[in-house]
């Protein structure tokens, strides 16, 4: 029981069995700094040291994954095999033969899946590291095949790959040699009708980021931040906003991927990493390419890397990971611990809730000021404080954040810098749990935090609709908003999905009484006014008047079309907004037809958000 993971298990067990025993001095009324000290003191009584050597790379585990992939090559689904070879790459030592084999074998699978460009990337990587001589022919043939399928004609590059393939033929086993010679002789037989797998590019469907708000980059000039005692900070329309107008398009400040999906999505940009590269040091994360890996390293992963190796990700709450990410980014952004302390002191000294979010007079969602100023409550429970203090211990033991590495939790207790970072971790955890949104796809594969998004208040009948693929947060007006009106988002589900008791639970979590019309008038999901029985007012007649008859027949099928990868119909979204706008102007609300169009738009946006 020498490492921190065992310690974590022990403490969590102690806490569950006897909370008082685990943290007998803990009280909800303490401030965050006291809470971290109590948790550290409790840890130090155990007197254990952190194993700061652990990184998880293992030749044997890499080989085991390669063997498993090879055995199951014919029988497994594409996703499962990609996962196995990606895991092999994650465990393989950098520059090792196992890494070359993981890339080489994965390229075979990428090829059969129609991911030719990704297969070419893996082939290059495998050859650069040094692939086994007796199988090099296979790689060069695969390279020639990928190039041919992509270009549909011979080229000098393909000729070169074929000639390289022939060079290594003699190194192959006799049976393999015969087989490959046949393929080489018949090349490019059977390749003309192969088509590449169509990757989904959500960027193509997102609106352009608005550029006209000098105070809030990435937001529409039609909004501003306000503060009132009743609503706290909130967002207000500075002019009338039409249905379908873009309000914000942001890349969120921070995102983390759930451990179940860590081999699938890029730890930097959240995109699907088909031919992902692992971190040089740990086995916990994957990147879509080397550029993302280097960017993440310099912006945050240098700090997180060892911590998430020491305390394996399965043992951490995803909000702990986000708290760690926010702390790492804040530290890197400031450049030193001293500068970070100065920055925090400065924000703490500003009372005005809006001014304290600003950097150089602007609300800059890429700066930590905008994140830290979201903190409003001190609600960390002892269990979370304990987990965060374990993260703090491993930060001290595995990074140089406090100068020298500190291996003993007792030493941390009297270290003011450690208490400062510990408190910041608690604050960041609270910010994460109150403001982060689960991003869509693969059953909530991760969490994203955008500070501007976090300043929108909630409505059960929101005026806005969001699309949040990966780490992008975009918000569009759902209906017309008048100048001066508050612009809200929906924190969970709009009233037409959520029953009142569920909505109450949500308000309890966020501690407010919802005053939207849907709550005041107790609208349940099936509450809406019936459409008048008059020919002239039927949806079909209205659509005809608007010149949109062709869509009306189709709009109910939109959801299916989006799911079926048919993006062409999505261009009709603006027309749906026009219809919605028209209905909202002409008829009372809520009305079944209006809700139906809203439902379709919600469905489309969620389907699009899920495909990243």
Ligand X SMILES: C[S@@+](CC[C@H](N)C(=O)[O-])C[C@H]1O[C@@H](n2cnc3c(N)ncnc32)[C@H](O)[C@@H]1O
Judged by CB under 6 A, the number of residues near ligand X is 16
Q: Per DSSP, what are the bridge partners of residue 255?
A: 448
Q: Which is nearer to ligand X, 255 or 419 (CB)?
A: 255
Segment lying near ligand X (by CB under 6 A), choices 240-248, 337-345, 508-516, 562-570: 508-516
Q: Does 378 bind ligand X (CB under 6 A)?
A: no
Q: How far is the CB of 511 from ligand X (least distance, A)?
A: 5
Cβ contact 474:612 at 8 Å: no
* Bridging pattern class, strands 246-251 and 472-477: antiparallel
Kindly tell me which of 241 and 514 has the beta carbon lying closer to ligand X: 514
The region of 106-114, 226-234, 379-387, 545-553 touching ligand X under the rule CB under 6 A is 226-234
Of 100, 450, 57, 87, nearest to 273 by C-alpha is: 87
Choose one: 328-336, 413-421, 507-515, 542-550; the region binding ligand X (CB under 6 A): 507-515
Using CB under 6 A, pick the residue from 138, 142, 233, 306 that binds ligand X.
Answer: 233
CB of 379 to ligand X, least distance (A): 11
Bridge partners for 408 per DSSP: 49
In three-state form (DSSP H/G/I as H, E/B as E, the rest C), the secondary structure along 165-211 is HHHCHHHCCHHHHHHHHHHHHHCCCCCCCCCCCCCCCHHHHCCCCCC
CB nearer to ligand X: give 232 or 532.
232
What are the b/e assignments for 561-598, b being 16+ CB within 10 Å?
Answer: bbeeeebebbebbebbbbbbbbbbeebeebbebbbbbb
Q: Which helix (H) or strand (E) holds 249?
A: strand 246-251
Output the smallest distance, CB 487 to ligand X, in A.
Answer: 12
Q: In the complex, what is the shortest distance from the CB of residue 325 to ligand X, in angstroms, rounded to a whole number? A: 19
Q: Any residues with CB less than 8 A from the CB of 306 and at least 6 apart, and which?
A: 52, 54, 55, 281, 282, 394, 398, 399
- Quote the CA–CA distance of 447 and 431 in Å, as a whole number: 12
Closest approach, Cβ 529 to ligand X, in A, equals 24
- Residues in Cβ contact with 214 at an 8 Å cutoff, skipping those fewer than 6 apart: 221, 362
Cβ proximity to ligand X, 233 vs 365, nearer residue: 233
Q: Output 235 or 576, the one with its CB closest to ligand X.
A: 235
Interatomic CA distance for residues 579 and 574, integer angstroms? 9
Give whole-number Cα distances, 275 to 57, 72, 263, 376, in Å.
19, 19, 10, 41
Closer by beta carbon to ligand X, 382 or else 459 = 459
| CA atoms of 59 and 61, how far apart (whole Å) | 6
Give whichever of 35 and 233 is closer to ligand X, judged by the CB atom: 233
**Rg for the chain, CA atoms, rounded:** 28
Distances (CA, A) of 142 to 46, 189, 297, 573: 56, 13, 32, 42
CA distance 527 to 583: 17
Residue nearer to ligand X on the CB measure, 161 or 225? 225
**Shortest separation between residue 210's beta carbon and ligand X, angstroms:** 21
504 counts as binding ligand X under rule CB under 6 A: no
- Nearest distance from residue 388's CB to ligand X, in Å? 21
Stretches 32-40, 232-240, 540-548, 595-603: which one binds ligand X (CB under 6 A)? 232-240
- Least Å distance, CB 520 to ligand X, is 11
Count Cα atoms within 13 angstroms, Cβ side, for 445: 22
Of 457 and 476, the one with the shorter C-beta distance to ligand X is 457
**Least distance to ligand X, CB of residue 477, Å:** 18
512 binds ligand X (CB under 6 A): yes
Report the Cα–Cα distance between both ends of the chain, in Å, rounded: 41
104 vs 125: CA distance, rounded Å? 8
- According to CB under 6 A, which one of 67, 515, 560, 566 is a site residue for ligand X? 515
Q: Measured from the CB atom, is 144 or 431 closer to ligand X? A: 431
| Position among 121, 421, 452, 514 found at the interface with ligand X (CB under 6 A) | 514
**430 to 469: interface string for ligand X, x by CB under 6 A:** -----x------------------xx-xxx----------
User: CB-wise, 514 or 607, nearer to ligand X?
Assistant: 514
Chosen residue from 510, 531, 538, 567 binding ligand X by CB under 6 A: 510
Q: Which is nearer to ligand X, 231 or 420 (CB)?
A: 231
Distance CA 309, CA 609 (A): 30
Q: Name the token pair of 130.
A: 């040094």
Cβ of residue 609: shortest distance to ligand X, in angstroms? 19
Interacting residues with ligand X between 100 and 159 (CB under 6 A): none
Written as one string, the DSSP assignment of 39-61 is HHHHHHTT--B--TT-----HHH
**CA pair distance 433, 429, nearest whole angstrom:** 6
Minimal distance, residue 380 CB to ligand X, in Å: 16
Smallest gap from residue 450 Cβ to ligand X (A): 11
Minimum CB–partner distance for residue 218 and ligand X (Å): 18
Of 230 and 361, nearer to ligand X (C-beta) is 230
Residue nearest to ligand X (CB): 232
Interaction residues for ligand X, span 303-322 (CB under 6 A) = none
β-pairing verdict for 486-487 and 246-251: unpaired
> H-helix or E-strand containing 255?
strand 254-257
234 binds ligand X (CB under 6 A): yes
Proportion of the chain in helix, strand, coil states, percent, rounded to 5 = 55, 10, 35
Distance, in Å, from the CA atom of 93 to the CA atom of 423, rounded to the nearest integer, reads 36
What is residue 540's three-state secondary structure? helix
Q: How far is the CB of 571 from ligand X (least distance, A)?
A: 33
Is 339 a binding residue for ligand X by CB under 6 A? The answer is no
Beta carbon nearer to ligand X, 314 or 513: 513
User: Least CB distance from residue 148 to ligand X, whole Å?
Assistant: 53
Nearer to ligand X, 410 or 458 (CB): 458
Contacting ligand X within 62-101 (CB under 6 A): none
**Footprint on this chain of ligand X (rule: CB under 6 A):** 231-234, 376, 435, 454-455, 457-459, 510-512, 514-515
């Amino acid at each position: 029981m020498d490492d921190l993971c065992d310690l974590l298990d022990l403490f969590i067990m102690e806490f569950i069995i006897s909370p008082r025993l685990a943290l007998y001095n803990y009280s909800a009324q303490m401030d965050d700094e006291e809470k971290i000290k109590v948790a550290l003191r409790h840890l130090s009584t155990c007197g254990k040291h952190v194993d700061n050597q652990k990184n998880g790379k293992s030749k044997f585990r890499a080989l085991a994954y390669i063997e498993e992939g090879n055995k199951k090559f014919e029988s497994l689904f594409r996703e499962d095999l990609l996962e196995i070879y990606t895991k092999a790459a994650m465990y393989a030592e950098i520059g090792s033969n196992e890494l070359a084999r993981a890339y080489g074998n994965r390229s075979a699978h990428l090829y059969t899946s129609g991911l030719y460009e990704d297969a070419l990337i893996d082939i290059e990587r495998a050859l650069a590291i040094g692939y086994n001589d007796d199988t090099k022919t296979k790689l060069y043939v695969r390279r020639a095949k990928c190039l041919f399928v992509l270009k549909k004609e011979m080229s000098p590059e393909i000729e070169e790959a074929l000639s390289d393939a022939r060079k290594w033929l003699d190194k192959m086993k006799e049976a393999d040699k015969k087989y490959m010679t046949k393929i080489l002789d018949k090349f490019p037989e059977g390749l003309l009708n192969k088509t590449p797998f169509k990757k989904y590019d959500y960027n193509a469907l997102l609106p352009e980021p608005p550029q006209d708000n000098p105070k809030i980059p990435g937001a529409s000039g039609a909004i501003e931040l306000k503060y009132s005692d009743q609503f706290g900070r909130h967002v207000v329309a500075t002019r009338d906003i039409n249905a379908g107008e873009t309000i914000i398009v942001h890349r969120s400040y921070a995102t983390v991927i759930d451990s179940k999906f860590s081999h699938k999505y890029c730890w930097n940009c959240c995109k699907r990493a088909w031919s992902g590269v692992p971190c040089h040091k740990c086995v916990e994360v994957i990147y879509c390419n080397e550029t993302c890996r280097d960017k993440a390293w310099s912006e945050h992963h240098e700090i997180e890397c060892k911590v998430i190796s020491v305390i394996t990700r399965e043992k951490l709450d995803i909000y702990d990971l986000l708290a760690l990410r926010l702390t790492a980014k804040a530290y890197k952004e400031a450049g030193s611990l001293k500068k970070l302390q100065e920055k925090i002191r400065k924000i703490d000294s500003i009372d005005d809730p809006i001014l304290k979010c600003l950097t150089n007079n602007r609300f800059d969602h890429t700066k930590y000021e905008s994140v830290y100023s979201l903190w409003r409550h001190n609600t960390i429970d002892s269990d979370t404080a304990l987990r965060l203090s374990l993260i703090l211990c491993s930060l001290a033991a595995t990074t140089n954040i406090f100068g020298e590495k500190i291996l003993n939790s007792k030493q941390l207790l009297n270290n003011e810098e450690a208490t400062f970072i510990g408190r910041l971790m608690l604050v960041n955890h609270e910010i994460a749990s109150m403001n982060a949104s689960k991003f869509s796809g693969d059953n909530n594969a991760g969490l994203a935090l955008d500070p501007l998004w976090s300043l929108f208040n909630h409505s059960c009948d929101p005026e806005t609709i969001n699309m949040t693929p990966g780490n992008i947060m975009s918000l569009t007006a759902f209906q017309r908003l008048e100048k001066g009106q508050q612009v809200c988002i929906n924190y969970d589900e709009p009233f037409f999905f959520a029953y009142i008791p569920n909505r109450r639970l949500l308000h309890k979590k966020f501690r407010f009484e919802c005053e939207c019309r849907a709550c005041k008038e107790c609208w349940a999901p099936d509450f809406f006014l019936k459409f008048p029985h008059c020919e002239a007012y039927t949806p079909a007649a209205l659509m005809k008047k608007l010149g949109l008859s062709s869509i009306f027949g189709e709009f109910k099928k939109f959801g299916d079309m989006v799911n079926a990868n048919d993006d062409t119909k999505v261009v009709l979204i603006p027309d749906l907004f026009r219809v919605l706008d028209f209905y909202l102007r002409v008829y009372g609300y809520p009305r079944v037809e209006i809700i139906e169009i809203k439902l379709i738009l919600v469905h489309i946006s969620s389907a699009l958000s899920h495909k990243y």
